[in-house]
Structure 1
């Protein structure tokens, strides 16, 4: 062991512990964090809906040319995956993930961590899917820049969902109104 025996905790998975970060000083940090997460979520949804509405009402430059590409269901799938992952992340009880408050069932802690992993995997898969859609559908087909905007909005939506989930997790993980702990 690299740690002195006095500092060793047998429940710990990693040898080097993650640092316990506390963020800022303020009276209403928890409330501000929840509002910031909501604002990030709203901006993420707005950017993709802007692209979807713009695509639905797109008109060709000349009447003889067709509109090259539209936002289709393929564009919606990564956002749906990220949204499901975000919902599951925020439905998980944070004390169960940590194994605190005397939960007698050790399988409950394991299940909570499994659901947390699956939800983060859904969000990461949504982000990877949106990048793939951007590259395969918009960039490789060499569409004009106005059509690539649809793919950029898809990627920014998934990034916004992930940031919103992280901000909401941190703000709801605080034990009191005066501190934020970035621990799992």
Structure 2
């Protein structure tokens, strides 16, 4: 295994291979924020589409007296609520405090910020795991028709898109705008 030459090694790095640098110009922050907003809207619209379809589901055509076998219930909403709360927690934390920069007092403040950040990501991961669990236990194992399993797939796609939206927003807010000034005395 080849090791990095000592001149190229930075002990602060976590990964040996750095992430590729994307040059999006001076509007990279705005692009990231709009992309995160688009993912957020897509996530919630997908699940609301499934909830609306579920509320207006009709019985099968060949059996008009039989009600639809499954509907979107509160259990389906819980994973999305967890992911949404996790997204809010993650994006409300000051990025400089997590890094320990800008002289934010003692090391306890940095530790608390990182703990709250972990809780936010844990909420999002729990929401994703919960949506997969609901999909498998409520929709796939019951062997419903494809029109009913869509409710579970919409739930999973909502949580994936919320997680991606939080990550994109975190990254785009961490980049400094061209018009920001750092004033220090």
Aligned partners of 2:26 and 2:177 also within 8 Å: no
RMSD (Å), alpha carbons: 2.2
Q: Does 1:98 align with 2:93?
A: no
1:102 Cα deviation from its structure 2 partner: 1.3
Aligned partners of 2:47 and 2:154 also within 8 Å: yes
Q: Does 1:19 align with 2:18?
A: yes
Query: Any stretches of 5+ residues in structure 1 without a counterpart?
Result: 179-184
1:101 Cα deviation from its structure 2 partner: 0.8
1:27 Cα deviation from its structure 2 partner: 2.1
Q: Matched residue of 2:43: which SS?
A: helix
Q: 1:49-79 CA distances to partner (integer Å, 9 max, x unpaired)?
A: 0000000010102321111000000000000
Aligned partners of 2:57 and 2:68 also within 8 Å: yes
Query: Any stretches of 5+ residues in structure 2 without a counterpart?
Result: 180-185
Aligned partners of 1:127 and 1:159 also within 8 Å: yes
1:20 Cα deviation from its structure 2 partner: 5.8
User: Aligned pair in 2 of structure 1 residues 89, 17: CA closer, same or farther (>3 Å)?
Assistant: farther
Aligned partners of 1:30 and 1:177 also within 8 Å: no
CA–CA separation in structure 2 for the residues paired with 1:55 and 1:176: 44
User: Aligned pair in 2 of structure 1 residues 177, 22: CA closer, same or farther (>3 Å)?
Assistant: farther
Write the mapping of 1:1-184 to structure 2, written as runs, cut at 5 A. Answer: 19=18, 21-61=20-60, 62-177=63-178
